[in-house]
Structure 1
Amino acid sequence: MHSGIFLALAAYAIYAWGDGIIKALGGHLSVFEIGFFNTLFASVFLFFLKPDGEKWRHFWVMQRPWAVQARAASGLAAGVLGVFAFTTIPLAETYALMFLAPLFVTLLSIIVLKEKVGPWRWLAVAMGFAGVLLVVRPGFRALEPGHFAAIVVAFLGATTIILMRSLAGERQTSMLATLVGYSLVFNGVAAAATSSFTMPSPKLLALLVLTGACTAAGHRLQLLATRITPANQIAPTHYSQMAWAVVIGAVFFAEYPDWISLVGLAVIGGAGMLTLVRERIRLGTVRWNPFSRNRL
């Protein structure tokens, strides 16, 4: 169990550093160029990390093709908007807004799955919303497009989680290959149409390779963690990304959240933990999926 928790913490640390590199690239490349090369290099690494018992040549064989396509479209939109958010607003604020995803899952569970939601989950929703207000403080300062992009990413992340509940028996290779295909085509065409594309310099290319490696390594470590440790034990490690966001933002980008923002981040983490604890008591497990966090 401890090994699984350690692997999950390592996965989210790698993801956070990859997001920090994406933020640094924002001043040199367009959102679509970053998305294209990140996906390209991540897919190269992921090609050699094929799930056990599956073959890439069978990726087109799907049990629920429309659900797989919807998951890919949702992941593509979240990836593009996520890069935009990371490159335009502070890391801590981006993560704070993206961590609204579990709260959107609660709302979508009511609307789509017709689930009954008790007072504990509503309390978690209220706490998470209050935490975001403390971090972002709308009305006291201007909100940027990146803030709204991060909120949409949270909603798309929740949509992906709902979709994944119907894709439990689907091949991982099918979902990954479809998502990679969508991302490469869309970002490639968008980059060519909206910017005067030039080959990145060797330094930028090295950073892009590193972001792809972070995506692939984080994905692989997540899968390994879920194999040796129950998901409800490692799900709380997701919130370690907020701590990394504060550290990376302060050290490399001179982003120093004030004490109110730090309290807000703690409240958001507490809301997520409350949801996890309540689900564990109610169901004995947490319906958490490693694909819910995917930088592709």
Structure 2
Amino acid sequence: MRRVGSFLGSGIAFALLAYAAFALSDACVKALQGRVVPWQLGFYGSALSFLILPLMWRPGDRLSDLIRPRRPATWWLRGGLATVNMFASIIAFSHLPMAEAFALIFLMPLLITILSVLFLRERVNVKAWFAVILGFVGVVTVLRPGFRDIGIGHIAAMLCGLSGAGLFVLLRHTRDGEKRITLFGAGVLCPMMVSFLLMLPGYTPPDLWEWVIVSGYALLAALANMLMMYASRLSPASHLAPTQYSQMLWGVGLGYVLFGDHVDAWTYVGIGLICFAGLWRFLPKRWLRALLPVAPR
């Protein structure tokens, strides 16, 4: 009982629930089958993100801090990346089986490694580079260029992973120079403004059933973000990072049960390689020694 209580009291339980909510939110996107344009979905999702604003608030914060950054250039860059990330995610899940979309989006941890070297001048060991190479082998296995068509959904999923990695690296670069509420403002207000402007021409309101699904998408995403906030307060990021791969299980399960997605054997192999590459640095050291024997001195 003590172990169960410790688990529930840790951020891991909240993180697992958060990623389940994220997956269900993505399932709502797929359920719409493109009947609601990405800009409308983006606007509703961004607007409801303000539900988590009280969790971001700290003593001394003011509403004007949402749009008053110390570094305007990085504020706009963060807003632009967040906008691309949101639209790319919606397009990916609208066009691909859920498991396949997640597989390509999960390139993000590997892309973070590359961007950290290029822009943060971080040093990366051989094991990390091995994980990057393994991850890209997994992507090639999923896509199999020359053997299958690569469509807008595949491009959007990879762009989602790349923009997500960019957001993470930018956050590490600016986290000590900006208030948390200011970073939140960039990540929410920019996508909301762009979505609003894009959806105005030819706006068609969703029907009743589409409103239900759109509301599910937006509310589940807001709930997931709230749960992740609680998780990050209870556990360090290194403990929470592996839980994101639970989304892959949700993607396979929801895709099969709700949408009849059929993923071939090679795609499963690619998914396995990508997940293993992402989880590589969290494996126990004794496992790593067995997988990569140390050369004799």
Fold-level similarity (TM above 0.5): yes
**1:93 correspondence with 2:100:** yes
Q: Which residue of 2 aligns with 1:292?
A: none
1:122 correspondence with 2:132: no
| Deviation, structure 1 residue 249 | 0.7
Structure 2 partner of 1:36: 43
Give the match for residue 115 of structure 2: 108
- Whether contact under 8 Å (1:50, 1:56) holds in the other structure is no
Shift of 1:278: 9.1
Q: Which of residues 187, 190, 196 in structure 1 aligns to 2:198?
A: 190
Q: Which of the numbers 214, 227, 241 marks the counterpart of 1:208?
A: 214
Residues 1:180 and 2:188 aligned together: yes
Query: How do 1:1-296 residues align onto structure 2 when only pairs under 5 Å count?
Result: 2=7, 3-43=10-50, 45-53=51-59, 54-169=61-176, 170-193=178-201, 196-277=202-283
Query: How many Å separate the matches in 1 of 2:17 and 2:110?
Result: 25
TM-score, structure 2 length as denominator?
0.86
Which structure is larger by alpha-carbon Rg, 1 or 2? 2
Deviation at 1:121, TM superposition (A): 0.9
Report which stretch shifted further, 141-150 or 128-137.
Answer: 128-137
Q: Secondary structure at the match of 2:229?
A: helix
Q: Secondary structure at the match of 1:130?
A: helix
Any conservation in 2 of the 1:68–1:167 contact (CA below 8 Å)?
no
Instruction: Structure 2: state its 5+ residue gaps.
Output: 1-5, 286-297
Q: Count matched residues.
A: 276
Shift of 1:172: 2.4
Structure 2 CA distance for partners of 1:34 and 1:141, relative to 1, 3 Å:
same
CA contact (8 A) 1:93 1:136 kept: no
The answer as to whether partners of 2:131 and 2:280 remain within 8 angstroms in 1 is yes
Shift of 1:48: 4.7
Closer, same or farther: CA 155–163 of 1 in aligned 2, 3 Å: same
Shift of 1:69: 1.8
Alignment match, 1:290: none
Q: Counterparts of 1:138 and 1:253 in 2: how far apart (Å)?
A: 25
Identity of aligned residues (%): 31
Deviations 1:5-38 (A, max 9, x none): 1110000010000001011123321121211222
Q: Which moved more, 1:219-228 or 1:24-33?
A: 24-33
Q: Deviations over 1:102-121 (max 9, x none)?
A: 11112112221222322101
CA distance in 2, matches of 1:277, 1:167: 30
CA contact (8 A) 2:105 2:161 kept: yes
Residues 71-91 of structure 1: CA distance to partner in whole angstroms, max 9, x if unpaired? 111011111111111101111
Note if contact 1:41-1:208 (Cα within 8 Å) is conserved in structure 2: no
What is the Cα deviation at residue 276 of structure 1? 4.1
Query: Separation in 1 of the partners of 2:208 and 2:52?
Result: 22
For residues 152 and 225 of structure 2, the distance between their equivalents in structure 1, rounded to whole angstroms, comes to: 28
- With the length of structure 1 as denominator, give the TM-score of the two structures: 0.87
How well do the aligned residues superpose, as a CA RMSD in angstroms?
A: 2.0
